[in-house]
Amino acid sequence: MKKIFLLFFIVIAFNASSQSLIGGDNILKTNLSADAINNYNITFEKSINHFISLSVNYKNMPLSKLPLKAITKQFIKNPDIDFDNFKIGNTTITFEGRFYLGLSKMSGFYIGPYIRYGNYDLSVPASYTYTPDKIFPTEIVKPITAVATLDGTVRTQSYGAHVGMQFQLLTKLVLDISFMGGHYGTSTGKLEFSPPGGFPKPAQVALKQVLDNTKAAPFKFKSIVDATKASVDMEGPWWGLRGLGIGLGLRF
């Protein structure tokens, strides 16, 4: 992914060499703060007039171990979830309109309302313990502890705004500093687990109890467990805060 971003900038820089040194109605940039935490992204911004621009941002974070694990533990209350092996990834597309207060196009202080669509991939391991049914009345059976890894996607749609400043640095280099912002919307999702080689009734009961004990208000969960699979449907509000972000781009 990093090589793709580098190729984008090389191509744009080459094309820009034949244009005027300063100006241009387009900017191609990346948020370095997000890139640093493997949240790779690219943004194309186009000036509409002296004070307004439109942009589209694509962002992708590969499925990886959970960041901010301690905070997630406090939010998702279930001791049977293995947060050490909990994985998350995401792909988002953001459409933004910016209103600039500077003296030149796409420069100075701005307010940027936006709409964001996101797919968040989850891999959630949960342990459960059950006692198999006896085959013979005198048989001694021991409890079995197993792990069900539920995989799936949460789809989100949210609306928000942020504020920041954008500067022209060198001939074609642009610095974009986003100070703060936030968004709010809705989310729906589904996680599934298919056990290999059958799923006895005691195991179904034990796993359903574990899933039903998951609490993460204000999100709502509905679990179904049968002989072939386990699934969890979820829905709830979706929100996020945007802290300091530093972007670097090329203007052409």
pLDDT reported for residue 21: 44
Q: State the DSSP code for 211.
A: H
pLDDT greater than 80 at residue 213:
yes
Cβ within 8 Å of residue 127, ≥6 positions away: 80, 82, 145, 146, 147, 148, 210
Q: What is the pLDDT of residues 138-186, one digit of tens each?
A: 778 899 999 999 999 999 999 999 999 999 998 899 999 999 999 999 9
pLDDT reported for residue 72: 87
Instruction: Tell me whether the omega of the peptide bond preceding residue 195 falls within 30 degrees of 0, making it cis.
Output: no
pLDDT reported for residue 39: 93
| CB atoms near residue 28 (< 10 Å) | 20
Report the relative pairing of strands 52-65 and 230-242 from DSSP bridges. unpaired
Is the pLDDT higher at 183 or at 9? 183
Q: Where are the domains of the chain?
A: 2-251
Q: Residue with structure tokens 């171990």? A: 65
> The pTM is what?
0.85
Arithmetic mean of pLDDT, 61-65: 95
- How far apart (Å, rounded) are the C-alpha atoms in residues 81 and 74? 12
Percent of the chain with pLDDT over 90: 77
Q: What is the pLDDT of residues 73-120, one digit of tens each?
A: 888 999 999 999 999 999 999 999 999 998 889 999 999 999 999 999
CATH class of the domain whose range is 2-251: mainly beta
pLDDT reported for residue 12: 45
pLDDT greater than 80 at residue 10:
no
pLDDT greater than 80 at residue 222:
yes
Is the pLDDT higher at 138 or at 125? 125
Arithmetic mean of pLDDT, 230-241: 96
Tokens of 127: 């342990």
